[in-house]
Structure 1
Amino acid sequence: MKYALVSSACALLLAAGASAQATASEWGQCGGQGWTGPTACPAGWGCVVSNQYYSQCLQGAAPAGPPATTASAPVGGGGVPPPTPTASAPGSSTTLIPGNSFIRAVEAPNFHKYLQSEKLGTAGDAVLGDPSTASQFQITGGQLIQLVPDGTKLYAVVESRSDPSVMKLKVSWSTTPSTSGTFVFSGDTVEWSTPAITRPQNNAWLVCPDPAGNLDLFVNLGAYSYMTPAGCADETIHAYTGATATA
């Protein structure tokens, strides 16, 4: 009986090892909290974190770091950005250009709404919108840059804080680089900071519909998911390097 138990235990260990070493399918899940399936991707594909519960094999992607394990949005503080851009071709299309990223929200009520301009490809309010109109981005030298198909670069600008009682700052697009703080990727999460303002979390954002229903993007100066302004929703926004912007 003892040898039978030992043999069974060995078989289970071998099976677990085989599962861990197996290769996930193209576009398949390769990680996430509680995931026990394969974590390797096919040749030419990388395992990219979408959120703490789900990582996916994406074509041509470099593997990302492990996802956050906290239930709430992690406190900001720098980190390793996505792969260094290898192509400068601009884009706002259904197919991601190498070196660029889509940027999207991953929480309700704006799950998989994508960052873009209110009037596509032009300076003006930064909003979240449908995948079919998703813009493409790079973060370079602290600038969050939207790349427009005609070659124009639009820079994310955060409005100035008028007084300490203001707890959200609107984000817009400008044709000139920003002087209003620094954007970085922390893992796949977009953060913003400035020495002039201390924030509980550098990755806390708000999405607040305007009277026309546009989903305007704001920097949240307060705590994530605490004392949320009326009509707004707390969000974190993340780089997404899938081949297309998907709902």
Structure 2
Amino acid sequence: MHYSQCMPGTATTTPPSTTPRTTTPSTTPTGTPTGTPTTTVPVTTTAAAGYPGATLQNGYYWIRAVESPNFHSYLQSKPTKAAGPALLADRTTAGQFNVVSGQLVQLVAPSTLLYGNVSPPANSSVAKLALTFSTTQNTFGTFAFSGDALTWSVSSINRPNLSAWLVCDAQTLWINLGPYAYNTPPGCVDETIHYFNGATVD
């Protein structure tokens, strides 16, 4: 099993040896994805409570930090597999993700997704934006992988580093609108987060 990850520091990330698999899933008339990013989610008898499980599902990735103090803390929602704030937290509750048509999607049950949502800043002095997970698609900005780093961008905000994130109180994950590792907001630490395609977390 091959996997890849990058170390933090700049907006430009060296492409990994394994390129994320990206194909657009089929959609309903409302535009809600009904399949995985690479294949249709197979029918399974596994109860939703135990899905997607501790083994990576086809077409999805773990997403984690690779620097201290959150080394190998994994992206997930709180409550686990439910709508709520995004966290970088313990590997045992890691979520499974991909980016599909600019949406950050979390697989929570067969053919069921949550979407990473970002709200516009209240004013120009805002230094960070919260990432939350919702049953509705995001309407503000676009998620993408740059190499293996997760990025977010929007035309109305000029970010110095599209892959700059912050982990703040209670391990909540925020988009850093300022430079990486400069004027870090109180109570937060700078991070970049990267996909990992190993079969299990480590």
What TM-score results when the alignment is normalised by the length of structure 1? Answer: 0.67
Q: Describe the shift of the 1:92–1:135 C-alpha distance in structure 2 as closer, same or farther (beyond 3 A).
A: farther
Q: 2:100 — aligned with what?
A: 140
Q: Could you tell me how far apart the structure 2 residues matched to 1:236 and 1:88 are?
A: 30
Structure 1 ranges of 4+ moved more than 4 A = 78-81
Q: Distance in 2 between matches of 1:206 and 1:137?
A: 19
- 2:24 is the counterpart of 1:87: no
Q: Could you tell me whether the CA contact under 8 Å between 1:104 and 1:128 is conserved in 2?
A: yes
Q: Hey, what does 1:237 align to over in structure 2?
A: 193
- Matched letter for residue 188 of structure 2: C
- Structure 1 residues 222, 75: closer, same or farther in 2, change over 3 A? farther
Residue 5 of structure 2 corresponds to 50
Closer/same/farther in 2, CA of residues 198 and 132 from structure 1, 3 Å limit? same
Counterpart-to-counterpart distance in 2, 1:152 and 1:111: 29
Return closer, same or farther for 1:185/1:81 CA change in 2, 3 Å cut-off: farther
* Worse overlay, 125-134 or 80-89: 80-89
Is 2:114 aligned against 1:158?
Answer: no
Q: 1:128 Cα shift?
A: 1.1
What root-mean-square deviation, in Å, do the aligned CA atoms of Structure 1 and Structure 2 show? 2.2
Mapped contact 1:92–1:133 kept (Cα < 8 A): no
Name the SS for the 1:104 alignment partner: strand
SS in structure 1 at match of 2:92: helix
User: What does residue range 1-247 of structure 1 map to in structure 2 within 5 Å?
Assistant: 45-46=1-2, 48-52=3-7, 72-75=9-12, 82-84=20-22, 85-89=37-41, 92-209=52-169, 214-246=170-202
What's 2:47 paired with?
A: none
Partners in 1 of 2:146 and 2:12 — Cα distance?
A: 10
Contact 1:75 1:200 in 2 (8 A): no
Consecutive unaligned residues of structure 1, counting only runs of 5 or more, are 1-44, 53-70
In 2, Cα distance between the equivalents of 1:234 and 1:216? 12
Cα pair 2:62 2:96 within 8 Å, conserved? yes
Q: Secondary structure at the match of 1:155?
A: strand
- The one-character-per-residue Cα deviations of 1:50-78 (angstroms, maximum 9, x if unpaired) are 225xxxxxxxxxxxxxxxxxx723347x9
Give the partner amino acid of 1:195: S
* Larger relative helix fraction: 1
- Distance in 1, matches of 2:19 and 2:115, equals 18
The alignment partner of 1:51 has SS state of coil
Q: Mark the structure with the bigger radius of gyration.
A: 1
Residue type of the alignment partner of 1:224: Y
Residue identity (%): 47
